[in-house]
Amino acid sequence: MSTVQAQTGTPVTLSSKAAPGPQPELNFASSISEDDVGPAAPAPPSAPDPAAAGYDHYAVKPAANWYQAPFSRIGVGADISPLGIGIKSAVVLNQDFDARGLVNFFHFDTGLFEVEGFHVDSKVQFTSAAAALDWYPYNSVFRLSGGMYFYNGNQISGTTTVSPGTSFQLQNTTYYSANPNPATGATPLTGSGVLSFHQRTPAAFVSGGFGKFIPRSDRHWSFPSEFGVIFTGPPTINVNASGWACLDAKQTQCSNVGDPSNPIAIEFQDNLREKLARWQNDLNKVGVYPIFSYSVVYSFNIK
């Protein structure tokens, strides 16, 4: 029990002891009416089921994938390879395949130069054209390609004139190029030859590489590499000789190598054929032509 002083100055005694008898039950809910607080707020709507609404979040493609419609984008590029200078173009077929066309060319003339009495003029003439299909497995940067070289004119040719009196070996026989002689019609020995890399035309090829010729994105530049082989068949060699050849330095035993009745000419041509056969036998061990290149390609949309 405690006593407090009211404002009137009269002491008021407060007792903490509860009054005897049953205590009334307090019901706050019943004492507050709807008019006091207003109507109850409605329950918030439940979230929709994505599957029931037709939205499957697992079916959404990753943002990194970039779809390109067929024939909507092309690329044009260039490279340098054992085929020469290459110009190539590619077009998108679908997400995994491209079609590609290739043209290669290279021409070089060494001009006339002399090696140990042989005056040589050689020419490198490379021209080829092909079509290819490029496959990128699982839309990766690795590429597998196959195609056909439907034109191949790659060859190295040369001509030579052997200085008069110059000696050379042919199948263990020593010959001398004849001195010019108007009385006998003798002329120095000359020759021409062609090394060809197109025994089989058209020729199939297979290759692999890294990098896409046409990026599956909005990038314009790409730098694909390529390595493979062309099934050209073995290179072929052909040599023809004309003029006069002698068996002695004094040039008393000479003959026009094109005379089929002269023993010296017959022996010379037989030795030449045997030499060419040995060279061709070595070349027959190589039936493919190598491909390796690094390209620079610019791509752009066409629709």
> Tens of pLDDT along 193-221?
999 998 888 999 999 999 999 998 889 99
106 vs 52, residue with greater confidence = 106
What span, in angstroms and rounded, lies between the C-alpha atoms of 254 and 258?
A: 12
What span, in angstroms and rounded, lies between the C-alpha atoms of 206 and 294?
A: 16
What span, in angstroms and rounded, lies between the C-alpha atoms of 201 and 45?
A: 74
CB 149 within 8 A of CB 203: yes
Residues whose CB is less than 8 angstroms from the CB of residue 254 and which lie 6 or more positions away in sequence, other chains included? 178, 184, 186, 244, 245, 246, 247, 264
**How are beta strands 190-196 and 203-210 bridged, if at all?**
unpaired
Q: Is the pLDDT of residue 161 over 80?
A: yes
Judging by beta carbons within 10 Å of its beta carbon (0-12, 13-18, 19+), is residue 118 exposed, middle or buried?
A: middle
> Of 203, 209, 210, which Cα lies nearest the Cα of 230?
203
- Average pLDDT across the chain, whole number: 84
Report pLDDT for 22. 52
What span, in angstroms and rounded, lies between the C-alpha atoms of 238 and 232?
A: 17
CB 300 within 8 A of CB 227: no
What span, in angstroms and rounded, lies between the C-alpha atoms of 283 and 277?
A: 10
What span, in angstroms and rounded, lies between the C-alpha atoms of 247 and 23?
A: 149
Report pLDDT for 186. 94
Helix, strand, coil tally for the chain in percent (to 5) = 10, 45, 40
Report pLDDT for 49. 55
Confidence of residue 65 (pLDDT cuts 50, 70, 90): low
Beta partners for 157?
123, 194
Confidence of residue 76 (pLDDT cuts 50, 70, 90): very high
Report pLDDT for 268. 96
Q: Which amino acid is at 33?
A: S
Report pLDDT for 302. 87
Q: Is the pLDDT of residue 61 over 80?
A: no
Mean pLDDT, rounded, for 178-196: 94
Q: Per-domain residue ranges for the chain?
A: 73-106+129-153+203-232+294-303
246 φ/ψ angles, rounded to the nearest 5 degrees: -120, 155
Token representation of residue 238: 């052909």
Token representation of residue 12: 């008021």
Look at the block and give the residue holding tokens 């092309």: 74
CA atoms within 13 A on the CB side of 133: 9
Residues whose CB is less than 8 angstroms from the CB of residue 32 and which lie 6 or more positions away in sequence, other chains included? none
With helix as H, strand as E and coil as C, how does 216-244 read?
Answer: CCCCCEECCEEEEEECCCCCEEEEEEECE
Q: In the chain, what is the straight-line distance between the N-terminal and C-terminal CA atoms, in Å?
A: 97
Q: Which amino acid is at 244?
A: W
Q: What predicted TM-score, i.e. pTM, was given to this entire model?
A: 0.72
